[in-house]
Homo-oligomer: A and B are copies of this chain.
Amino acid sequence: MIKCNRVHLICMEDRMAATVKEVAKHAGVSTATVSRVINNDAKISVETREKVLESIEVLGYKINNIARSLKTSKTYTIGFICPELANTFFMNIAEGIEKELIKHGYSFIICSSGESKIKEEQRIKLLVEKRVDGIIIIPASNEESYYSWLKENEVPLVLVDRLVEDFSCDAVLSDNINGAYQAIEYLIKKGKRSIGFIGGDMRLTSAKERYEGYLRALSDYCISKNEDIIKFGDFHAESGYVCMKEIANSKNLPECIFVSNYFMHIGAARYVEENNELLKEKLTITGFDDMGFINDVFRNSVLFVQQPMSDIGEKAAQLLMSRINGEEIAYPQVIRLKTKLVDKE
């Protein structure tokens, strides 16, 4: 009989998740006391605390955050929705988010929207049903989607990288206009007059803003724009390739070209590599985004506008934390982080 009991006890300890109740019993205190110890309540005597801590150790107790969440209505989990996962740019932002979250004991559920508004809405619903404490979104489109519904239901929301038109909301993103402007200005000061432009999907604010910066710089230096060397893609490599090709085939080849993001940069660089030796000698490419090592292999690419990717994620998470914790700060906060122009020559 005694043996049987022991076996049973061992079973309990080893296999089943112990509860506060069991810990309380083992330590000879109430569940409230156990809870206080877990939550580092100040007014607990040292002896009691140690006794409880020992029981926790012995029983291998692990808190059940589900139960805690039900009681406190906090999950210490946020949602992050981005257009795709296998995208270095987005994932650098994700790393920034994680870095900040971990400090606060938070973790995040990641979802991809596949650049689709419909999917994005589905993911939002999913996250809301999982009771996440807040959501960070890199919007799939420029349309308002489900965001205002989140707002009404008081689910903290921070937009990242892209804004949504006619929808005011907390957001963290790069100063795209001035980032592009500085690059173009730099090129002009180096004597370039003919500067091509490969833009992204103009339904996205980031694409629009970079184009805006390009136009402003041309305008400020009295350089008229030439439609032949201005093309728009969709931020993916293939479109960069196509745009580059179109520009290369235009009558007046530019001296250099500005590409609006990393992936189109790769596409454009590929075109330059595989076609026309002439291009290689003359044309240089300036890229938005710099993923470090990779770009080094493009010999025509020496000027980069670096976005503080990780910082964007960190700031977004910080802002979200502030909202979750109900800090009184003006709404909305739109944080623009400065880019850095780097000449690798």
Contacts and interface: CB of A to CB of B under 8 A. Distances in A.
A130 interface: yes
Given A91-B85, A109-B108, A293 B273 contact: no
Copies of the polypeptide in the assembly: 2
Given A94-B85, A111-B98, A273-B299, A266 B238 contact: no
A114 B209 CA distance: 34
A63 B95 contact: no
A15 B153 CA distance: 6
Contacts of A17: 153
A64 interface: yes
Contact of A98 (B85, B88, B128, B294): B85
Contacts of A95: 84-86, 112
A70 B66 contact: yes
Contacts of A67: 70
A95 B109 CA distance: 13
A86 B153 CA distance: 32
Contacts of A94: 85-86, 110
Given A69-B66, A88-B88, A91-B86, A107 B126 contact: yes
A270 interface: yes
Interface in A82-122: 84-88, 91-92, 94-95, 98, 107-112
Contact of A75 (B66, B85, B111, B293): B66
Interface residues of A, number: 54
Contact of A297 (B91, B111, B128, B273): B273
A65 interface: yes
Contact of A293 (B65, B87, B129, B237): B237
Given A91-B91, A152-B14, A65 B129 contact: yes
Contact of A109 (B77, B152, B298): B77
A296 interface: yes
Interface in A122-155: 125-131, 152-154
A152 to B, nearest CB: 7
A187 interface: no
A164 interface: no
A200 interface: no
A106 to B, nearest CB: 10
A267 B88 CA distance: 17
Contacts of A267: 293
Given A70-B66, A108-B109, A111-B98, A238 B293 contact: yes
Nearest to A105: B126
A109 B65 CA distance: 14
A62 interface: yes
Nearest to A88: B86
A269 interface: yes
A63 B77 CA distance: 17
Nearest to A126: B107
25 contacts: A15-B152, A15-B153, A64-B129, A65-B129, A66-B66, A66-B70, A66-B73, A67-B70, A77-B130, A85-B91, A86-B92, A87-B91, A91-B91, A94-B110, A98-B111, A109-B109, A238-B293, A266-B293, A266-B294, A270-B296, A273-B297, A273-B299, A274-B296, A274-B299, A297-B297
